[in-house]
Amino acid sequence: MERARPAPDQHPHFWSTPHVKRPAWPTRLPIDPYILALLGTVGIAALLPARGTGADIASGGATAAVALLFFLYGARLSTREAVDGLRNWRLHLTVVAATFALFPLLGLAAKGLVPYVLTPALYSGFLFLTLVPSTVQSSIAFTSIARGNVPAAICAGSFSSLIGIFLTPVLAAFLIGGQAGFSADSLVKIVLQLLVPFLAGQLLRRWVGPFIARHKKLLGFVDRGSILLVVYSAFSLGMVEGIWSQVTPLRLLALLGVEAVLLAVMLTVTWFGAKRLGFDRGDRIAIQFAGSKKSLAGGLPMASVLFGAHASLAVLPLMLFHQMQLMVCAVIAKRRSRDPEALDRDGLAGPDVPAGPDLNQAPPGAAARIVVGTATHSG
């Protein structure tokens, strides 16, 4: 005789499934997808490096993508923003001093870590990192989130990039020496790849500016895509030349530690130094974010020209520092947005917010989540 089946309400976990707790998959990755894309690009270059004709195609594509990126930078910067920014010459002078004076001095001080902490090759890359100009996109995004002076950040990043086109190769020639192949030809290549497209964007802004304003994500896609192409080209060349045998995991950890100290020092000095110089809160935020960062978009093509086959080792410190600065500055920008002073209308970002999500309208927590995913721009 068949036994009576127990009522569902007596054994709910046996007969019904709604009470069974199923594993929940994360809705978003804990790591920014662009970081994974960078790591994946390095892995592809290690497994399938570009050789021969393929290397020439990859290098040409990277050069064209970076030129397009700087063309879009030039087309986005309005003449009014540039003129307004020029009036704040003390702020720009402070950012330039932090980027091209204080950073290199700290890089030279790290010479004492060779060969105990850093190898000579890694130190050359670390020193080159300190000579690279500031960022454009991420400095603007973080300044916007922290409710700082956004127009000043736009001009500070742009001016730093333009000055760096000439100053970075010269500083590399004097401070790094023979490892950085500086010459008139290399300077011409850098100018043609970075400055000429930027000026062309300025000249054609009247016609292409409205198109860029309607397609705000275009700059971000070109930004990230150009960096991935340059990374693949540089690391492929490094694999073909067999220079990766010079790096060990322990040395990489040591490099990360040195870069963490460098970033902490620059964030502290730019914030409190700007305060001592009498800048208001909005300007201090712009100085801190523009004066403590280094541009991947500007540094990678310069390294490819200056270091040639050794460019992959030269840009490794810059790549690591780039990701570190984004993660740390995302936290700082979130905290700055909650400052009581942030309610002061003088500290709010103006209407000329760059392409991307409306960060000023998002709550502080959401803004931090947005910037980790969208401000991983290199320029």
Residue 256 has a pLDDT of 94
What mean pLDDT do residues 287-297 have? Answer: 91
**Residue 282 near residue 54 (C-beta atoms within 8 A):** no
Nearest Cα to Cα of residue 123 among 355, 348, 310: 310
The Cα–Cα gap between 66 and 193 comes to: 7
Q: Examine the pLDDT at 67 and tell me if it is beyond 70.
A: yes
Residue 375 has a pLDDT of 47
Residue ranges in 242-295 assigned as alpha helix (H): 249-276, 281-291
Q: Examine the pLDDT at 374 and tell me if it is beyond 50.
A: no
- Model confidence band, residue 93 (pLDDT cutoffs 50, 70, 90): very high
Residue 183 has a pLDDT of 61
193 secondary structure, DSSP code:
I
Beta carbons within 8 Å of 174's beta carbon, 6+ residues apart: none
The Cα–Cα gap between 177 and 344 comes to: 49
The Cα–Cα gap between 217 and 320 comes to: 25
Residue 249 has a pLDDT of 85
* Ranges 86-95, 228-237, 326-335: which has the least confidence: 228-237
Q: Examine the pLDDT at 211 and tell me if it is beyond 90.
A: no
Beta carbons within 8 Å of 357's beta carbon, 6+ residues apart: 370, 374
- Model confidence band, residue 286 (pLDDT cutoffs 50, 70, 90): very high
Alpha-carbon dihedral sign for residues 25, 31, 33, 39: negative
Question: What would the pLDDT profile of 112-130 be if each residue is shown by its tens digit?
Answer: 999 899 998 899 999 999 9
- Model confidence band, residue 13 (pLDDT cutoffs 50, 70, 90): very low
With 0-12 / 13-18 / 19 or more C-beta atoms within 10 angstroms meaning exposed / middle / buried, residue 298 is: buried
Highest mean pLDDT among 95-104, 190-199, 334-343, 362-371: 95-104
- 3-class DSSP state for residue 143? helix
Q: Examine the pLDDT at 162 and tell me if it is beyond 80.
A: yes
Residue 361 one-letter amino acid: Q
Residue 352 has a pLDDT of 39
The Cα–Cα gap between 300 and 165 comes to: 12
Residue 358 has a pLDDT of 38
What mean pLDDT do residues 361-365 have? Answer: 42
Would you give the distance in Å from CA 357 to the centre of its chain? 18
Tokens 């916007």, residue?
144
Q: Examine the pLDDT at 99 and tell me if it is beyond 90.
A: yes
What mean pLDDT do residues 21-34 have? Answer: 54
Residue 291 has which token pair? 């004066």
Nearest 5 degrees, angle CA 72-CA 77-CA 78? Answer: 130
The Cα–Cα gap between 165 and 188 comes to: 10
Q: Examine the pLDDT at 50 and tell me if it is beyond 90.
A: no
Q: Give a three-class secondary structure readout of 210-256.
A: HHHHHCCHHHHHHHHHHHHHHHHHHHHHHHHHCCHHHCCHHHHHHHH
Note the pTM of the prediction, 2 decimals: 0.72
- 3-class DSSP state for residue 247? coil
- Per DSSP, the residues of 67-83 read HHHHHHHHHHS-HHHHH
Residue 182 has a pLDDT of 57
End-to-end CA distance of the chain: 79
Residue 253 has which token pair? 């950890």
Would you give the distance in Å from CA 260 to the centre of its chain? 15
The Cα–Cα gap between 257 and 280 comes to: 32
What mean pLDDT do residues 83-101 have? Answer: 87
Q: Examine the pLDDT at 209 and tell me if it is beyond 70.
A: yes
Q: How many CB atoms lie within 10 A of CB 361?
A: 9
* Ranges 58-72, 123-137, 318-332: which has the least confidence: 58-72
- Model confidence band, residue 184 (pLDDT cutoffs 50, 70, 90): low
* Ranges 88-97, 237-246, 266-275, 361-370: which has the least confidence: 361-370
Q: Examine the pLDDT at 8 and tell me if it is beyond 70.
A: no
Q: Examine the pLDDT at 267 and tell me if it is beyond 90.
A: yes
